[in-house]
Structure 1
Amino acid sequence: MDVSHMMNEIIHTLQSFAFDLGTLSFSLYDIIRVCLIGLVVLLIARLINNYGKKLIKRQKRLDVRTKEVLTKVYEVVIFCIVALMLLNILGINLTTLAVFGGAVGVGLGLGLQSIASNFISGIIILLDNSITIDDYIEINADQKGFVREFRMRYTVLETYDGKDIVVPNETFISSTFINWSHKDPKQRYRVDFSVAYDTDVRAMVELIKDAVGAHPQVINGNKYPIEERPDCEIDSFGDSGINMFVEFWILGIDDGKNRVGGDLNLIILETLKNNGIAIPFPQREVKIISQPAP
């Protein structure tokens, strides 16, 4: 018995195990054939998809937002082509899919509503240029980080401690968020401190402004507008001392390798100590009033 005859016998045996699904008829041979061919098609599609995305991202003439839009559209096109090929291999007449159009619409409106909403939201985000790669986004106190990747359903934020936050794209459309670095990388911060009431405040203000402005990451100098240079002011009058604050601008976010808040706290403390300026602490004055003996 030659190999060809043996293969025909195996195929005939597999075809004998058939079952019906509505108006469609399948055999065990059909299922195995579809699985093998489908696996090959999926592997080839994945290679084409990865190559196409790399090719798009290498285009220097396109900005980041356009690259992300084209990449997302490219993924959808590849997905649709693969889906149609698999249906054709399965032997399903594509014209019959029109019968299921209403059912698919209901499915999108109910079970797939969230997926469809996140996908469309991702397209809107990329087109309106509200978020781009490497923007620092704050959704709430516990969800903030740098945008590292846009996907069809979600956006990945990377925190300073190395964690990835997966945020559904719909969140950026339906909720309020803060984009710290999209328009301008310069950010303003402040450090609060207190001094005793007998302090020469005018002289102390100049000392603090010079000390803070000397930090290499703090924006300072005549080439910058006065509102971006370090500024020290009185915040309020406390029970034990004068509450002060110093405002300053830096490039980027005050965290990670760009963190300057801790350095400035130490600089302010050393400046006050070196100039004999006392830092007040809570205290109470107790007076004992003696009463005359009866």
Structure 2
Amino acid sequence: MDSEFFAKQFESVWLLIQSMLSQQATYLQLLVIITSYAAAYWIYSKTVKKRVDKHTKVASDHPINIMLFRLSNIVYPLVAIILLQIFTAIGITADLQVWLMNTALNIAILLFAYSIIKEFVSSPFMSALFKLVGLPVLLLHLLGFLPAFIKTLEAVSINLGNIQVSLYGLTRVLFFGAILFWLGRASSNVGKVIIRNQQTLDISTREVFTKLFEVGLFCVIALLLLNIMGVNLTALAVFGGALGVGLGLGLQSIASNFISGIIILLDKSLTIGDFVELENGKSGFVREFKMRHAILETYDGKDILVPNETFISSLLTNWTHKDPKQRYRVDFSVAYATDVRAMVAIIKEAVAQHPQVISGPEIPFEERPDCEIDSFGDNGINMFVEFWMQGIDDGKNRVGGDLLLIILETLKAHDIAIPFPQREVRVLNEGFVSKI
């Protein structure tokens, strides 16, 4: 019985296929489909992609060029959709069969959606979500089965007190919530890069706009998500005052850090790239301002997360606030028998040869390398060298260690002795010692 049923079904399908293949309209539609896809590929490869590749070679790492490159990769299915849509409309107007072109159009739309996911969704989770959920939903919509599918999901529901939760509502909130937060994070990252690349604005202003953009974007996303959940925003406004008081008390520290960050950026007491030393002795370069904290990068590669309020309420030293030029000193000793005046001139000349030490006749006298006596020690004369340099004497700008090596080599080259601890023992009663 079952074999006969399937045989009849197969026979009817085969007869339908034979009937379609015998019609001239079927081959005409195939010709239109092949022509549309070929024309779309030609437009993509010969015009759009070639021009975009030529343009992006100049600055391939720029965010706008990266965006143009990704957009160019979705041109092929997009042009195919446009051409097939035009030919389908012409076929309907001429009262021709367009079922095959509609099928090809649906395939082109799915390819277009897949290309967007491939080019613009870098998150593995979101990519899988779009491919496994978004594309099937799109296919159901194109085939006209989506309303019936939604009704089926709405029929599956549970009651939680006075609230009825349907499978469709839960799925919609989870799906669109994930999309909104992913879009928010992606838009935030792109927006921050674009704002920070505006060289016409100073660093502090860029950081202020970046922070405000990030906060505003996530506020909009939160409102959209509440709307998707079916929350009445007008009714929500009634509770805004009480909610604000509660948040103000519960999130006082977070609000304080956020406002402190805005104040720091507006008064320009700290900017990106400054080298600061905190009251507790921690120090590092300011690399980024977040909503709640700033990131200090130390020379050994560690990141220190400092609450923004710390910069307002405690003492800190900004080494590079007004001028990145800094003065340092290195100490050494020479023997008492040294001709100090001649040695000082030799050391000054040697130190001035270092490429990172500020020196030269055009430099003010007080900023040139200097060598002076610090004190008279037990074993020798304690000397020091003062010098100015651009930046901080650490990391890649480690100049102090280089100068100590230069001083050591210079002293050895001129036979200048470096003292070391010595003790002289005198025997006052030699007879007593000999008896022992």
Instruction: Determine if the TM-score, normalized by the shorter chain, exceeds 0.5.
Output: yes
> How many angstroms apart in 2 are the aligned matches of 1:178 and 1:5?
65
Matched, 1:70 2:209: yes
Equivalent residue in structure 1 for 2:229, among 72, 85, 90: 90
- For the 8 Å contact 2:286–2:296, the answer to whether it is kept is yes
> How many angstroms apart in 2 are the aligned matches of 1:34 and 1:243?
74
Equivalent residue in structure 1 for 2:367, among 214, 222, 228: 228
Equivalent residue in structure 2 for 1:188, among 306, 312, 327: 327
Cα distance per residue 1:269-289 (max 9 Å; x no partner): 122122222111111222211
Equivalent residue in structure 1 for 2:241, among 93, 101, 121: 101
Secondary structure of the 1:17 match is strand
Displacement after TM superposition at 1:168 (Å): 1.8
Displacement after TM superposition at 1:137 (Å): 2.0
Equivalent residue in structure 2 for 1:151, among 290, 294, 305: 290
- For the 8 Å contact 1:230–1:249, the answer to whether it is kept is yes
Match of 2:189 in 1: 50
- For the 8 Å contact 2:258–2:291, the answer to whether it is kept is yes
Cα distance per residue 1:35-80 (max 9 Å; x no partner): 2222222233334333332332232321211111111111111111
One-letter amino acid of the structure 1 residue matched with residue 239 of structure 2: V
Secondary structure of the 2:206 match is helix
Instruction: Report the more deviating stretch, 204-213 or 142-151.
Output: 142-151
- For the 8 Å contact 2:372–2:384, the answer to whether it is kept is yes
CA 1:201–1:28 in 2, change beyond 3 Å: closer, same or farther? same
Match of 2:218 in 1: 79
- For the 8 Å contact 2:358–2:367, the answer to whether it is kept is yes
Instruction: Report the more deviating stretch, 249-258 or 54-63.
Output: 54-63
What are the within-5 Å matches in structure 2 for residues 146-225 of structure 1? Answer: 146-225=285-364
Match of 2:414 in 1: 275
Matched, 1:38 2:180: no
> How many angstroms apart in 2 are the aligned matches of 1:75 and 1:221?
48
Cα distance per residue 1:109-162 (max 9 Å; x no partner): 23x122111111111111111111122222267632222222111212222232
CA 1:292–1:5 in 2, change beyond 3 Å: closer, same or farther? closer
Secondary structure of the 1:248 match is strand
Structure 2, unpaired ranges of 5+: 1-143
> How many angstroms apart in 2 are the aligned matches of 1:158 and 1:222?
36
Equivalent residue in structure 2 for 1:133, among 253, 272, 276: 272
> How many angstroms apart in 1 are the aligned matches of 2:234 and 2:152?
32
- For the 8 Å contact 1:19–1:27, the answer to whether it is kept is no
CA 1:116–1:25 in 2, change beyond 3 Å: closer, same or farther? farther
Larger Rg: 2
- For the 8 Å contact 2:154–2:167, the answer to whether it is kept is no
> How many angstroms apart in 2 are the aligned matches of 1:4 and 1:213?
79
Provide the TM-score with structure 1 as the length reference.
Answer: 0.88
Cα distance per residue 1:191-238 (max 9 Å; x no partner): 111111122212211111111112111111111111111111111111
- For the 8 Å contact 1:137–1:180, the answer to whether it is kept is yes
Cα distance per residue 1:210-269 (max 9 Å; x no partner): 111121111111111111111111111111111111111111111122211111111111
Provide the TM-score with structure 2 as the length reference.
Answer: 0.61
> How many angstroms apart in 2 are the aligned matches of 1:137 and 1:74?
27
> How many angstroms apart in 2 are the aligned matches of 1:138 and 1:42?
37
Match of 1:254 in 2: 393
Match of 2:153 in 1: 11
> How many angstroms apart in 1 are the aligned matches of 2:148 and 2:323?
72
User: RCO higher in 1 or 2 (8 Å CA, sep ≥ 6)?
Assistant: 1
Secondary structure of the 1:224 match is coil
- For the 8 Å contact 2:328–2:388, the answer to whether it is kept is yes
Structure 1, unpaired ranges of 5+: none
Instruction: Report the more deviating stretch, 44-53 or 210-219.
Output: 44-53
C-alpha RMSD of matched pairs (Å)? 2.4
One-letter amino acid of the structure 2 residue matched with residue 86 of structure 1: L
Moved over 6 A (4+): none
> How many angstroms apart in 1 are the aligned matches of 2:383 and 2:186?
61
Secondary structure of the 1:208 match is helix
Identical residues among aligned pairs (%) = 60
CA 1:292–1:149 in 2, change beyond 3 Å: closer, same or farther? closer
- For the 8 Å contact 1:20–1:26, the answer to whether it is kept is no
Displacement after TM superposition at 1:83 (Å): 1.1
- For the 8 Å contact 2:357–2:387, the answer to whether it is kept is yes
Instruction: Report the more deviating stretch, 223-232 or 152-161.
Output: 152-161
Cα distance per residue 1:18-40 (max 9 Å; x no partner): 2247xx66444433222222222
Secondary structure of the 2:239 match is helix
Return the structure number with greater strand share.
1
